[in-house]
């Protein structure tokens, strides 16, 4: 059962849900970022922040009787405290592990 707060920011058109969970505040902002996606949730729990987005086609594909789902996950180096040194300070291309998972 949801036992938290809910607010709507009328000026910026997004919704916020928050509740206490395990001694920390869990807050979910819906519609705050990623306006091009069909749905997006920006979640905060303690020091952790996650952006989750979903997109869908307007028309179903012909010839399939299941819901095709793909998940893309990429962990950035700066998120785990590894900042590249030297001339190139940006992330560069995805690692082989990020491509294969």
Given a cut of 80, is residue 62 above it in pLDDT?
A: yes
Angle at 87 between CA 84 and CA 93, to 5 degrees: 55
- For the segment 23-44, the average pLDDT, to the nearest whole number, is 89
- Residue 84: pLDDT band (50, 70, 90) is low
Of the pLDDT bands very low, low, confident and very high (cuts 50, 70, 90), residue 71 is confident
Nearest residue to 42 (alpha-carbon basis) of 12, 34, 50, 74 = 50
């Amino acid at each position: 059962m949801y036992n938290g707060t809910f607010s709507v920011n009328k000026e910026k058109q997004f919704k916020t849900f928050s509740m206490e969970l395990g001694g920390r505040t869990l807050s979910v902002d819906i519609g705050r970022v990623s306006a091009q996606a069909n749905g997006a949730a920006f979640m905060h729990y303690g020091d952790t922040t996650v952006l989750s987005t979903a997109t869908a086609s307007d028309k179903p594909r012909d010839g399939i009787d299941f819901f095709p789902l793909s998940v893309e996950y990429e962990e950035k180096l700066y998120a785990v405290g590894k900042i590249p040194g030297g001339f190139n300070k940006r992330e560069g291309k995805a690692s082989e592990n990020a491509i294969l998972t």
